[in-house]
């Protein structure tokens, strides 16, 4: 874990405002470490500039509060929503992940407003979506 931390992956303004506990358990922490080590840190190296995590780990209560999917990989510590500050930069992140890194799901969210990426140990589906 060179560029990203577990604390950064769990930070949430919604959790702070609503006083929601957003602390991962040990299994979720291990999944976050795998996501960081296999996707996010290598992506930062490839991209060469900072990347912001807008949503990483979400506890069940936080996931409900933000209207996340019932089976969201965010709740397992396997997913992050990331962005660079521009749609062009976000598209570049998407392409770098798609073409160079292991992933389970890669989603272009709202014409590259942000990118959702997930990783899980074992079988990764390499599923690419546009929402």
pLDDT at residue number 9: 98
Give pLDDT, residue 74.
98
What's the N-to-C CA distance of the chain in angstroms? 29
pLDDT for 22: 98
pLDDT, position 127? 97
Task: Please give the CATH architecture assigned to the domain spanning 6-130.
Answer: 2-Layer Sandwich (3.30)
pTM of the model: 0.96
How confident is the model at residue 46, as a pLDDT?
A: 98
Sheet with strand 127-130: strands edge to edge: 52-55, 79-83, 114-118, 105-109, 127-130
**How high is the pLDDT of residue 100?**
98
Task: State the SS3 of the chain.
Answer: CCCCCHHHHHCCHHHHHHCCCCCCCHHHHHHHHHHHHHHHHHHHHHHCCCCEEEECCCCHHHHHHCCCCCCCHHHHCCEEEEECCCHHHHHHHHHHHHHHCCCCEEEEECCCCEEEEECCCCCCCCEEEEC
Per-residue pLDDT of the chain (131 residues; tens, 9 = 90+): 999 999 999 999 999 999 999 999 999 999 999 999 999 999 999 999 999 999 999 999 999 999 999 999 999 999 999 999 999 999 999 999 999 999 999 999 999 999 999 999 988 999 999 99
Domain ranges of the chain: 6-130
Which pLDDT value is given to residue 30?
98
């Amino acid at each position: 874990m060179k560029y990203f931390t577990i604390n950064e992956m769990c930070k949430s303004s919604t959790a702070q405002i609503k006083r929601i506990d957003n602390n991962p358990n040990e299994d979720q922490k291990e999944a976050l470490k795998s996501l960081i080590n296999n996707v996010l840190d290598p992506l930062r190296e490839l991209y060469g500039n900072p990347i912001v995590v807008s949503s990483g780990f979400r506890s069940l209560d936080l996931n409900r509060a933000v209207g996340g999917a019932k089976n969201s990989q965010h709740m397992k510590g396997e997913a992050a929503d990331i962005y660079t500050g521009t749609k062009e930069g976000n598209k570049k992140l998407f392409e770098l992940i798609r073409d160079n890194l292991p992933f389970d799901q890669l989603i272009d969210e709202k014409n590259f407003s942000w990118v959702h990426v997930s990783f899980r140990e074992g079988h990764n589906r390499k599923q690419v979506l546009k929402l």
